[in-house]
Amino acid sequence: MITIVQLGYVVAVDKFRNFARASEHCFVTQPTLSMQIKKLEYELGIQIFDRSVTPVVPTEIGVRFIEQAKVILSESERIEDLVKSFRNDFSGELHIGIIPTLGPYLLPLFAGALKRHYPEVDLKIDEMVTGQIIENLKNGNLDAGVLVTPYGDKKIIEQPVFFEEMFVYAHKDHPYLKNEAVKSSEIVTDDIWLLGDSHCFRTQVVNLCGIDKNRRHNLPFDLEGGSLDTLLRIINREGGFTIIPELFANSLRENANTHQIRPFSDKKPLREISVCYSSQYPKRRLTDLLIQEIQKAVPQSMLDTHRGEIVLWR
């Protein structure tokens, strides 16, 4: 008879592609884990893993078996969640991914408080770009992702949580700072600094500003920055401007750095921030808790979806 424990071992080996690391993850000895998987393979009359290569890989039937095993494990977790919810028990692991343009500015607002309020929740956080988060949600390696939506994948459930305004940040001598606000139609993009292609915020900025991908620019050198902090350091030194999201702008204001930030005068562009999870591997109880803690931590004005216009990026 197939057991939940055996299925857990199989999924762990598939995740780590290594029996030793899988056994550490499952808190059992490697011989125990290997024996249970071999026993399962013998009883089913199939080979789940090809052990002749390094790292180990699933066989053709193994791939299909593992896919179904993940579904069964997810359903068993739903039963546990149901019981814990009845007992008002908030415990367990919550593994989340968060995009780099949010992580440094959002995590300090809620992560510590969540852990203090719910010490039995084992919160694990990885910073990664959107594509990596979606992939890991689909294969069950993440429980939830905090990213910009709408994304539009039928296998991913999106729960909008708050809405960030987008601002102009410019060099201290830039003409945009002569007024209290910047009109979007007057933005000239030949001196705009952008994040790299892997960042969804780059695409939002391109869409907002109507940037021609084949544009010529007047920047001193080509740079597609990996972080907002890098862009601002370059701007402060070399000139130009960029667009920044609200939580980052708020972190700058905390250090009294407000004179280089301007809102848009003719619109209020927003980016929609959601907590996302796979429809196949939901941890609804802990995901709802995550949403609750984030919404308590951000400025309450950010919860209003009607305060501006959402800028799409896909």
Question: DSSP labels for 30-75?
Answer: HHHHHHHHHHHHHHHT---EETTSSS-EE-HHHHHHHHHHHHHHHH
Paired strand residues for 166? 245
pTM across the whole model:
0.77
Over range 259-273, report the average pLDDT: 94
pLDDT at 39: 94
> Distance of CA 18 to CAs 34, 42, 128, 142, Å?
11, 20, 23, 19
Residue 78 pLDDT level (bands cut at 50, 70, 90): confident
C-alpha pair distances (Å), 16 with each of 137, 181, 282, 287: 16, 51, 21, 25
H or E element, residue 224: strand 224-225
Higher pLDDT, 220 or 31: 31
Q: What is the fold of 92-314?
A: D-Maltodextrin-Binding Protein; domain 2 (3.40.190)
Query: What tokens were used for 249?
Result: 């702008």
* Averaged pLDDT, 20-31: 93
Q: Which of 16-30, 83-97, 212-226, 235-249 has the lowest mean pLDDT?
A: 212-226
**What fold does the segment set 4-85 form as a domain?**
Arc Repressor Mutant, subunit A (1.10.10)
> 226 pLDDT exceeds 80?
no
Q: Are 58 and 50 in contact (CB under 8 A)?
A: yes
HSE (CB half, 13 Å, CA atoms) of 19? 18
pLDDT for res 148: 96
Identify whether the C-beta of residue 242 lies closer than 8 Å to the C-beta of residue 202: no
Greater confidence (75 vs 83) lies with 75
Least confident of 30-44, 153-167, 272-286: 272-286
Computed over every residue of the chain, the mean pLDDT equals: 89
Question: Per-residue confidence at 223, pLDDT binned at 50, 70, 90?
Answer: low
Q: How far is CA 75 from CA 72, 79, 173, in A?
A: 5, 7, 59
List, for residues 108-119, the tens digit of each pLDDT value. Answer: 999 999 999 999
The candidate with the shortest Cα–Cα distance to 288, out of 90, 50, 120, is 90
Under the banding of pLDDT at 50, 70 and 90, the label for residue 217 is low
168: pLDDT strictly greater than 90:
yes
Q: Which two three-digit tokens encode residue 210?
A: 């109507």
Element containing residue 165 per DSSP (H, E): strand 156-170
Q: Start-end ranges of CATH 1.10.10.10 in the chain?
A: 4-85
What's the pLDDT at 310? Answer: 94
Over residues 78-101, mean pLDDT:
78
Between 199-203, 232-236, 278-282, 306-310, the lowest mean confidence (pLDDT) is in 278-282
The pLDDT-based confidence of 220 (bands split at 50, 70, 90) is low
- Cα torsion 167, 249, 245, 134 to 10°: value is 170
Domain with CATH 3.40.190.290 in the chain: 92-314
In this predicted structure, the answer to whether residue 212 has a pLDDT above a threshold of 90 is no
Helix (H) / strand (E) containing 25: helix 19-26
Backbone region of residue 189 per phi and psi (left: phi > 0; alpha: psi in -120 to 50; beta: other values): alpha
Residue range 143-157: mean pLDDT, rounded: 94
Round to whole Å and give the CA distance between 180 and 263: 8
